[in-house]
A and B are shown apart, each in its own frame.
Chain A
């Protein structure tokens, strides 16, 4: 069932068993698990069924620190959320990513990779991926041309990615949601306030509103905030009437530890003869899987570095490629996407067909986690509000020398291993050549992957949510999405967002069944 909240009478009271706020991959993947159950699900979406620039403007904000994309265009504010723009790159996090790594301050999740394994398997089909196979040998058996550059290497391994078409979750699951008898989708229902009992141990209701000036109240037994990393923090910080520092923020953690994936061209790989290196190539829209070069857990431990991967791009394309920070430059996400896509298409077109078939020179590009950093954070702009009266966000994205050292070390290791194997030589790009240079070049980009502002921990002094994604100190408020991530790992986050959301959904079902 679908209702446009602008059409409801003012001050409508909406009631259900569970209220999910946000319809991106996090919110929708939870909602779908509740279809055809006896529970009444209230699904709130701040935007409409399609793009609406007035609603999108609620995302506008300021950024300081490391140069970033315009905040307004990095997330989408309508049904399906940012899955309407994502590229579909998927790979699970590795067991080491969840561990406490003594060389990375603030690392260590309260859950293990094995806690997510069954949910990764279920997440695959939600975004139309292939079998849950992330072992390169499985794919190589199917296609012997997927030859490894460094077979059996102790320091460098092949990490598998799979590609979603990419699934636009709103388009794909919209009909099912609309037809559902027990899921009640309300569009143009922007959450602007949360009301708790006194002394703020349980949520009573949330307030939603829209530009038509209609305000409504939603009551439920359990609430799930799935508005993405920046908005989840912004909402909690804004709810500061009953909780002075914001909801769940007794220990000044909400909004802190904002993480992105650093994406940056880093090195050149030279082979003595042209080689297709098919295992590492991607033909957008066609390729189902590919690998990136990753550093083994043992070597990450030994070298005390962050987790990152290197992707390969033939020189023929790379010489024309522009960094995404240079092309994703408009406040309007549609324009940014179009600039970004046309720049990528142009670099492919300019490359000669022979250089695409096989090349003896490849560009290596990094995607790497940043170390969790409390100073990298979301705060509220005290002076600027959006049209609904919510304080706008300020992002301070901060990197440290640790990231630079890790990127450099990663390529020194890959350089060493290709030399040892006698298959190639590697040249670091200029920005990595001086080991005492910790600056970042202007083409340093993020992956549009926002993580970490409501991090997970068993201890309320070190985390905003517990291992079940429940806000510490509040009985019935849960957070879904990458804001709960403790560390960022190397892979794009959405597969893990969905897996974690499915796990949360199962937990909530058990909770409600026991009420």
Chain B
């Protein structure tokens, strides 16, 4: 599985700031785009109250850093999606990515 490149062309609706929000940095070095989308869809199914783009953007703003994600892990703000033990923030990033790249 190679690192993904986040494209913003071809009918893509995001601006660059949203693109940054929807890029789970560490995870995207591990999972390919279809896997990220799968995880994102799983998060939306598991957390319907956060399934919309607006909500996800609001929850992820103003920005996501490696520290935000590490802090989630440290605080136990973790969610298991398809067996992946993920920080809530990176799960939300995947969800946003899965909406944006549908």
Contact = CB atoms under 8 A, between A and B. Distances in A.
Nearest to B77: A416
A416 B66 contact: no
Interface string A50-86: 0000000000000000000000000000000000000
Contacts of A415: 78, 80, 85
Interface of A is mostly: mixed
Nearest to A413: B85
Contact of B83 (A360, A416, A420, A432): A432
Closest 7 CB pairs of A and B: A415-B85, A420-B73, A419-B73, A428-B83, A272-B29, A270-B30, A433-B83
B83 A425 contact: no
B86 interface: yes
B43 to A, nearest CB: 15
B102 to A, nearest CB: 23
Given A272-B26, A419-B78, A427 B73 contact: no
B70 A420 contact: yes
Interface string B1-41: 10100000000000000000000001101110000000000
**Which among A361, A411, A422 has the highest number of chain B CB atoms within 10 Å?**
A422
B82 interface: yes
B42 to A, nearest CB: 11
Contacts of B83: 267, 427-430, 432-433
A267 B26 CA distance: 19
B80 A425 contact: no
B70 A272 contact: no
18 contacts: A267-B83, A270-B1, A270-B30, A272-B26, A412-B78, A412-B80, A415-B85, A416-B85, A419-B87, A420-B73, A421-B70, A422-B26, A425-B30, A425-B86, A427-B82, A427-B83, A430-B83, A433-B82
Interface in B47-90: 66, 69-70, 72-74, 76, 78, 80, 82-87
B74 A425 contact: no
Given A427-B82, A427-B83, A430-B83, 10 more contacts: A267-B83, A270-B31, A271-B30, A411-B85, A412-B78, A422-B26, A425-B85, A426-B84, A428-B83, A432-B83
A267 B78 CA distance: 17
Interface in A397-426: 411-412, 415-417, 419-422, 425-426
Nearest to B27: A425
A430 to B, nearest CB: 7
A426 B69 CA distance: 15
Contact of B30 (A272, A411, A412): A272
Contacts of A420: 70, 73-74
A361 B31 CA distance: 11
Contacts of A270: 1, 30-31
A427 B84 contact: yes
A419 B26 CA distance: 10
A432 B82 CA distance: 10
Nearest to B24: A425
Nearest to B72: A419
Contacts of A272: 3, 26, 29-30
A427 B85 contact: yes
Contacts of A416: 73, 76, 78, 85
A288 to B, nearest CB: 32
A430 B29 CA distance: 22
Contacts of B1: 270, 361
**Which among B27, B30, B31, B85 has the highest number of chain A CB atoms within 10 Å?**
B85
Interface string A4-42: 000000000000000000000000000000000000000
